[in-house]
Structure 1
Amino acid sequence: MFSTLILYQIRKAWFKIIMENLLRVGVIASTHGLKGEVNVFPTTDDLNRFKNLKNVILDLKREQIDLEIEGVKFFKKFAILKFKGYDHIDDVQRFLKKDLLVTRENAVKLKEGEYFICDLIGLKVITDEDVELGTLTDIFQTGANDVYVVTNKDNKEILLPSIPQCILNKDLEQGIIKVHILKGLLDL
């Protein structure tokens, strides 16, 4: 007989495996009209990626639903999606504030040197002098460049600009990001 703790650990491990193979492309922000359309706030860099997207997975936390996209429109920063078989506002009400996911096979193809943020989070960050800074825990996307948040062993955050002079190499196979600490950066 499995204990509750073991079942929890199995479920947590299974969830991690599933989520590593799924990428979030948006969050359903609100309904749009009365015919089952929804406003989707994109969590992808390219809003136009919804034009070629045929299927998404709706994450309801306790279950996931495969949805076929029937129509796509755009308004300001939102993608307006219509799902096949959901033709009334009441059909999509329970979708509000839920994530839309795609499989890695349906993800946008990355150029050389580009990575999904979820693949970088958790990597060990070391300096070009082989000093371990900590673990990459977040990435802020700003207008100029991304900012890497590295949490050290004392649970303090170090902010590093994602520029070639600072972020030297990302090695997903080894699980390491090599960085150069610019003068004065750790004094902040």
Structure 2
Amino acid sequence: MEEYLKIGTVISTHALKGEVKVYPTTEDVRRYDDLDKVFIGPQPCAECLHVERVRYFKNLVIVKFRGLDRIEDVERLRKRDLFVSREDAIPLGENEYFIGDVIGLKAVTDDGRELGCVADVMETGANDVYIISKKDDPKSELLLPATKEVILEISPEAGIMRVHMLPGLED
């Protein structure tokens, strides 16, 4: 499991006083209210920045980092990802997982057949959908709804997602 979790991406600067616009990639956007520090970069531990203030605008988060007070100071942050350490992450409920912990798991049917690996997670209004890169044809995908009828077990520790294939899911 990853030590750092992605929570957003800086999409642009905002105004002239060192603020940035962040597209949040976390389910609970208000989690930004409790941030003291984030790690920014293409890799999680590239640079640690301390959060001075946060506000919200439409579907974006406006973040001001301590010590970065001019637009010139934050221009370099564009298109960089924001991460938090796992210890600073919001606690998960029962049967909840971080997307980063699910991606890469082997999808195995309840009868032991390996389907492939979880390539991505599509968030929809009703439930998430796991995108499986098929083992026998990696360019082909299988879409599995994240419902209790289909997803029997998720075990990041074991690297496995156990699934029940309902009729029509492989068509």
The two structures have a TM-score, normalised by structure 1, of: 0.85
The aligned counterpart of 1:149 is 131
Alignment counterpart, residue 132 of structure 1, candidates 114, 135, 139: 114
* 2:88 corresponds to 1:106: yes
Note the C-alpha offset of 1:174. Answer: 2.0
* Partner-residue secondary structure (3-state), 2:96: coil
Query: Which residue in 1 is equivalent to 2:48?
Result: 66
Q: CA deviation at 1:60?
A: 4.9
Contact residue 54 and residue 68 of structure 1 kept, 8 A:
yes
Q: Which residue of 2 aligns with 1:52?
A: 34
Partner of 2:148: 164
More helix by share: 1
Where do 5+ consecutive residues of structure 1 fail to align? Answer: 1-16
List runs of 5+ in structure 2 lacking aligned partners.
Answer: none
What CA distance in whole angstroms lies between the structure 1 residues aligned with 2:5 and 2:165?
A: 31
Aligned position for 2:67:
85
Return the index of the structure with the highest Cα Rg: 1
Contact 1:58–1:101 (8 Å) recurs in 2: yes
- Between the two proteins, the alignment pairs up a number of residues equal to 169
Runs of 4+ in 1 over 4 A off after TM superposition: none
**Higher RCO, 1 vs 2 (CA within 8 Å, ≥6 residues apart):** 2
Aligned to 2:166: 182
Over the residues paired in the alignment, what is the CA RMSD in angstroms? 1.7
- Residue identity over aligned pairs, in percent, reads 48
TM value normalised by structure 2: 0.93
Q: Distance in 2 between matches of 1:87 and 1:27?
A: 20
Counterpart Cα distance in 2 of 1:122 and 1:57:
23
